[in-house]
Structure 1
């Protein structure tokens, strides 16, 4: 029954559901945070790195996932909302915890859009806040 949820999500984005794609989508959604390629490799130890990478590339091109450059040198990935088309208007703020190295999507905080000078075209915004997540801040006290 639960697998049908992931199949529905994939087919709504015109992605052919395969076992690997369902596994990757399920792992990403269950993480409740952004995940790196290495995170997914560790979560899905029976799936090879190239299959995960190809799946992420497909998810990005189909606007099922977005990538985040949080400054750690490793891209993070998160599943997009149902109506997201990864336009500038769909972008949101991200938070990177400097202690546990997890990056979170803060979907309730829109990314500030700046006015661009004449001749410039804005395609993407990367807005990352850094500090301590609630779990790490709790252990600081």
Structure 2
């Protein structure tokens, strides 16, 4: 649990028991997760507490959100050095077969020149196909 506390302190989040449990559950995911995924895993924690915790983690750049087109916002834990700025944005991959969404942190979103007087605030770059697990 010391590792969990350290992560929360790094993001200036007070390490309460529930926050530590939620972060521990998040860290067990190999792919992006939704609120309903966490609800299923943490049956004793009510939905509003989970939702508030997700919002807090998102505000402090501990997690980032992904709109993968599935109709459910997904989340993924950020790297320690991520500030969720435009320079930190990376591509995501959504598997059409299993429905999992993966962070492709090694693939940065390319710089796209915009017309004059346009200001970029966010980018959502999701590739879709079949993941390595489902190809087998």
Band the TM-score falls in, shorter-chain normalisation: over 0.9
CA RMSD of aligned residues (A): 0.8
Answer whether contact 1:41 1:52 (CA < 8 A) is retained.
yes
Contact 1:87 1:123 (8 Å CA) reproduced: no
1:126 deviation in Å? 0.4
Deviation at 1:113, TM superposition (A): 2.1
TM-score, normalized by length of structure 2?
Answer: 0.97
TM-score (norm. length: structure 1)? 0.93
Cα distance in 1 between the residues matched to 2:111 and 2:41: 35
Output the CA distance in 1 between the equivalents of 2:42 and 2:109: 32
Q: C-alpha separation between the residues in 1 aligned to 2:122 and 2:109? A: 10
Per the alignment, residue 17 of structure 2 pairs with 19
Q: Show structure 2 runs of 5+ residues with no match.
A: none
- Distance, in Å, in 2 between the alignment partners of 1:33 and 1:24 is 16
Q: 2:118 aligns with which of 106, 117, 120?
A: 120
Gaps of 5+ in 1: none
In the TM superposition, structure 1's runs of 4+ consecutive aligned residues that sit over 6 Å from their partners are: none
